[in-house]
Amino acid sequence: MKITWMIGGAQGTGVDTSANIFGNAIARAGYYIYGNREYYSNIKGRHSYFNLTICDEKARSISHKVDILASFDAETVFQHYQDVQKVIIYNKGVLNVEKDRIQSIEPETAERIPFKTVKEVIDYLESKGVTTIGIDYDEILKKVAEEMKLPLSVVDRARNTIAISASYDLLGLRKDYLYEALKRTFKQETFVKLNLSAADKVKLSPIFDLKELPQKKRRVQIDGNTAVAIGKIYAGIGFQSYYPITPASDESTFIEAHQEVLYVDPVTGDKRKRTIVVVQAEDELAAVNMASGAALTGVRAATATSGPGFSLMTEGIGWAGMNEVPIVITYYMRGGPSTGQPTRTSQADLLFAMHVSHGEFPRIVIASGDHVEALKDAIWAFNLAEKYQTPVIHLVEKALANAYSIVDLDELGGDIEIERSTLGNDNERFKFTDSGISPRLLLGESTVYYTGDEHNTFGHISEDPVNRVKMYEKRMRKLETADKEIPEEKRYNVYGDLDSKYAIVTWGSPKGAVLDAVEELDQKFAVIQLRMFNPFPKSVKKLLEDKDLIIDIEGNYEAQAAILLKQYGVEVTNYILKWNGRPMGRDEVKDGILSAIKGEKRVVLNAGS
């Protein structure tokens, strides 16, 4: 069972808050949810919306076609009328609002809408069999204002609560869960009462008739930024630097809010409190260099950024590569180039991440496909950085960072290990070894020299050609060692039927939409999710060598993962690509797969407002 719900409205009117309240109430009734928020790079006024999947099993993706559209303004009706499948909740007070009077609608969008007024849209939806439910928001808010003896300007904040209350009624669940969620969200008594009053004044008959489900396991609600932050804290991070940038900042602010942690003293075994140092740097150049400086002292150090910030970090990452510094860079990918689309998703920076900075040096690159992976990969990234003493780039797209899901708590535990570097006891920091990995020396405990120049084993600058060759090979040998030691099966996941002649290769956030789409198809597929790009899992070639159809599904124009596959002997036959900045939905992916089966070589997806 899957039901997809969406709410929209102007930024600053509580769309995100109301969606979280609604989702929390659904989860309390025993259902899994997967939600995603879309918003403009604008503080207040532009259109934003929240898409939520409700499921009796683990939810992994959204659908752009929705069963219920909850709106309280005119623009949401215009923007999303084509997405509605079953029910639209609209504000009676905006029926006569004309499209041309809504200043926040972009002209390109307005041109594609063939209706003049909201009423025309509602009439059209009724002709298509959609149930239309008009609510007099203004009348309800007037009653709440009279009851609470508050001005309408204050009570108007509950407009979104009316929308989620109406939506909750349609599901048929006990409203107690919604009331509890409202109480947990609003701390001030006045706002609790006015939102409860607004919610209670909406009474609709159920359409979906959901039943409360028993919860057999403990569950948590988690988003991508928080998952990575918790993973870093669990991994023992001691230093995090950042410069504010969307959509990366929420990770650092979470760590900042949870700086004081308990840890086990490695010498005595006692539990002690310690503080994670979090620094908001003056820019991204400083952020990455601060992380390197902290890592040289022996603490686990990381930074987090997005496209423009990562571009500024390139020289610092090269310095870390030259000096074999174990830093983690969490790279939240968004739409580019330049400022691009600051609040939209993208997978266009894969090759950039793999080749960031000039020169050759080991860069380990991993990519998460869901929230559980995001948490565990944050731990894995630190282990890899310290073990192989090199920068590790952890890719997380905006589509994953700003989405949230309900997961079983036991999924977040399991086979989690912490691996640290081997420490040396002399002053030869860059000692030649067969593996290329030298024992680490820590600042403050040894005499160590660091420079951006080529150097000898003690860190002193050297341009000697023989030393250059040996030191160059030593650094690159670390990647060869990693390739030998990291199990291939950790570098990708396999789903579906490996015996099928049809295969799909994907990575990152499209994972959930792909798996859900494949489940809905009659045709069986082998699905390969790439999790590590450098060192690349070469055994993928064997998995795909007997396939008649190999479909690459990713969020960029060039099919960058397919470019890498070709380097390792895999020829993709079909492509399903998306680069409009919106996340992939299972509905459009399913349609894309069907088109590929019919012979379409390159399918371009474009769902989302």
Q: What is the CATH number of the domain that holds 567?
A: 3.40.50.920
What gap in Å lies between CA 397 and CA 534, rounded to an integer? 18
Determine, yes or no, domain membership for 374.
yes
Specify the length of the chain in residues.
609
What gap in Å lies between CA 197 and CA 179, rounded to an integer? 10
For 25: left if phi > 0, alpha if psi spans -120 to 50, otherwise beta; the answer is: alpha
- Report whether 262 contacts 245 (CB < 8 A): no
Tell me what pLDDT residue 268 has: 84
Tell me, yes or no, whether 448 and 371 share the same domain.
no
Determine, yes or no, domain membership for 128.
yes
What gap in Å lies between CA 331 and CA 196, rounded to an integer? 41
* Per-residue pLDDT tens over the stretch 482-533: 999 999 999 999 999 999 999 999 999 999 999 999 999 989 999 999 999 9
Which alpha helices (DSSP H) does 259-306 contain, by range? 284-296
Tell me what pLDDT residue 425 has: 85
| Percentage of residues of the chain with pLDDT beyond 70 | 100
| Res. 166 pLDDT band, cuts 50 70 90 | very high
Tell me, yes or no, whether 140 and 46 share the same domain.
yes
Tell me, yes or no, whether 76 and 17 share the same domain.
yes
What gap in Å lies between CA 90 and CA 135, rounded to an integer? 6
* Per-residue pLDDT tens over the stretch 420-440: 888 888 889 999 999 999 999
Tell me what pLDDT residue 457 has: 97
Tell me, yes or no, whether 188 and 90 share the same domain.
yes
* Per-residue pLDDT tens over the stretch 45-76: 899 999 999 999 999 999 999 999 999 999 99
Q: Give the residue-averaged pLDDT of 4-30.
A: 94
Determine, yes or no, domain membership for 208.
no
Domain boundary, last residue among 367, 388, 412: 412
Whole-model pTM: value is 0.96
The domain in which residue 324 lies consists of 222-412
Tell me what pLDDT residue 265 has: 77
Tell me what pLDDT residue 263 has: 84
| Res. 413 pLDDT band, cuts 50 70 90 | confident
pLDDT at position 264 over 90: no
Tell me, yes or no, whether 110 and 38 share the same domain.
yes
193, two tokens: 């009462």
Tell me what pLDDT residue 496 has: 95
The residues, ordered by sequence, that sit 6+ positions from 521 with a Cβ below 8 Å of its Cβ are 590, 593, 594
- Compute how many other C-beta atoms are within 10 angstroms of the C-beta atom of residue 353: 22
| Res. 358 pLDDT band, cuts 50 70 90 | very high
Determine, yes or no, domain membership for 50.
yes
| Res. 605 pLDDT band, cuts 50 70 90 | very high
Determine, yes or no, domain membership for 213.
no
**Distance set, CA 264 to CA 261, 271, 272 (Å):** 10, 5, 6
Tell me what pLDDT residue 216 has: 85
Domain boundary, last residue among 170, 200, 230: 200
What gap in Å lies between CA 85 and CA 6, rounded to an integer? 11
Tell me how many domains the chain contains. Answer: 4
Tell me, yes or no, whether 249 and 182 share the same domain.
no
**What CATH number does residue 301 fall under?**
3.40.50.970
463, two tokens: 């341009």
- What SS3 state is found at 496? strand
Tell me, yes or no, whether 468 and 386 share the same domain.
no
The residues, ordered by sequence, that sit 6+ positions from 237 with a Cβ below 8 Å of its Cβ are 255, 276, 299, 300, 301, 302, 382
| Res. 270 pLDDT band, cuts 50 70 90 | confident
Tell me, yes or no, whether 8 and 113 share the same domain.
yes
pLDDT at position 555 over 90: yes
Determine, yes or no, domain membership for 214.
no
| Percentage of residues of the chain with pLDDT beyond 90 | 91
Angle at 138 between CA 159 and CA 169, to 5 degrees: 55
Q: Strand 327-335 vs strand 300-306: parallel, antiparallel, or unpaired?
A: parallel
Tell me what pLDDT residue 292 has: 98
Q: Strand 549-554 vs strand 502-507: parallel, antiparallel, or unpaired?
A: parallel
Closest listed residue to residue 352, CA positions, set 579, 507, 553, 556: 556
| Res. 174 pLDDT band, cuts 50 70 90 | very high
Q: Give the residue-averaged pLDDT of 6-26.
A: 94
205, two tokens: 């008959």
Q: Give the residue-averaged pLDDT of 230-248.
A: 96
What gap in Å lies between CA 542 and CA 534, rounded to an integer? 18
Q: Give the residue-averaged pLDDT of 111-131.
A: 97
pLDDT at position 266 over 80: no
Q: What does pLDDT average to over the chain?
A: 95
* Per-residue pLDDT tens over the stretch 311-352: 999 999 999 999 999 999 999 999 999 999 999 999 999 999
Tell me, yes or no, whether 152 and 255 share the same domain.
no
Tell me, yes or no, whether 440 and 374 share the same domain.
no
Q: Give the residue-averaged pLDDT of 529-542.
A: 97
Tell me, yes or no, whether 428 and 408 share the same domain.
no
Determine, yes or no, domain membership for 333.
yes
The residues, ordered by sequence, that sit 6+ positions from 555 with a Cβ below 8 Å of its Cβ are 345, 346, 347, 348, 397, 399, 508, 509, 510, 577, 578, 579, 584
CA dihedral 382, 384, 389, 390 (to 10 degrees): -90
Tell me, yes or no, whether 438 and 375 share the same domain.
no
Determine, yes or no, domain membership for 209.
no
Closest listed residue to residue 196, CA positions, set 147, 153, 152: 147
Q: Strand 492-496 vs strand 526-530: parallel, antiparallel, or unpaired?
A: antiparallel
pLDDT at position 19 over 90: yes
**What CATH number does residue 76 fall under?**
3.40.920.10
| Res. 32 pLDDT band, cuts 50 70 90 | very high
The residues, ordered by sequence, that sit 6+ positions from 171 with a Cβ below 8 Å of its Cβ are 3, 26, 54, 206, 208, 209, 210
